[in-house]
Amino acid sequence: MDQRPLTRLRRRELGLLLMNHNEPETQNVTTSTAVIKYGGNAMTSLALQQQFAANLLCLSEHGIQPIVVHGGGPQISAMLDRFGIESEFKGGLRVTTPDMIDIVRMVLHGQVNRELVGHINQLQPVAVGLSGEDAGLLTAVKRYADIDGQPVDIGRVGDAGSVNPSILRDLLTSGRIPVVSTLAPDAGGAVHNLNADTAAAAIAAAIKADKFIVLTDVTGLYSNWPETDSLIPNLDTEALKGMLAHLSAGMVPKAEGCLRAVEAGVGTAHIIDGRDSSALLRAALAEGTPVGTTVTPAPGGNS
């Protein structure tokens, strides 16, 4: 990876990437905020990690303040395997015991978070890693698995409860890029692993972001998966609600996150393919350019 700082030459190179994808001229740059849920193969491929870091800096140079939120399911599974601990899932959710939460914290904040912060700071030292535990950013509400209609305790697994975005605002004001791992304490101080999709949406809603962008391993939402020509380029929140029951288990929290964000006032939400190195730039910068699936407010909503 080119580790030069973002000199004028480096900025020109990044600008060419946008021009190659029909990004309109940015003449009057205004500041907006995008919350980006980082996941999928973009987290596990070194080349994609490095490209993602460069793209974040490109967004900043074009007037978009990015906030990155990440989980790390595959990395957690790999570390548990190294410790000889078998991963158990109930209702599609990982059972997380009090002993396991220490490993989860180590992976999410000590590995995944530090790697991404490092990639960004190799290019320009502006990234700051934090978790939901820091400065009261997030609190956790215990989540139960649904097994045949019955709630089942799965340990230290939660959803985002309250969000205090003041630390994020402070970082953005100082020109930093926050990188957030989704760990948070409950009311009693017990740390939980939060679903990263819904936690990112909660942050987007609280910060009143202009965009909420979810990176995944498919191009977007499909009306008849896996038929690639059934990609849905645009839909509103009412149409998305009607799709939830028909989505795969892995896509449901991503769609629910988009729904929550847009209904809370976020301008648009996007589900994009993180394996496409230019998809993030096009979703964030090239208004009207087809990329992934864009979720907009239903008529009369988001007012």
Residue 3 to residue 119: CA distance in whole angstroms: 9
For 228, other C-beta atoms within 10 Å of its C-beta total 10
- For residues 45, 171, 183, 118, the Cα torsion angle rounded to the nearest 10 degrees is 30
DSSP for 88-149 reads -EETTEE-B-HHHHHHHHHHIIIIIHHHHHHHHHHH-S-EEEEETTGGG-EEEEEEEEEETT
Q: Which residues are annotated as a binding site for substrate?
A: 72-73, 94, 193
User: CB–CB of 182/239 below 8 Å?
Assistant: no
Cα 13–chain centre separation: 26
Query: Strand, coil or helix: what is 20?
Result: coil
112 close to 94: Cβ distance less than 8 angstroms: no
- What residues form the annotated binding site? 72-73, 94, 193
- What does DSSP assign to residue 41? G
DSSP state of 275: T
Helix or strand holding residue 302 (H, E)? none
Burial class (CB in 10 A: 0-12, 13-18, 19+), 277: middle
Burial tier of 125 (Cβ tally within 10 Å: 0-12, 13-18, 19+): exposed
How far apart, in whole angstroms, are the C-alpha atoms of residue 84 and residue 80? Answer: 6
User: How far from the centroid of its chain's Cα atoms is residue 239's Cα?
Assistant: 22
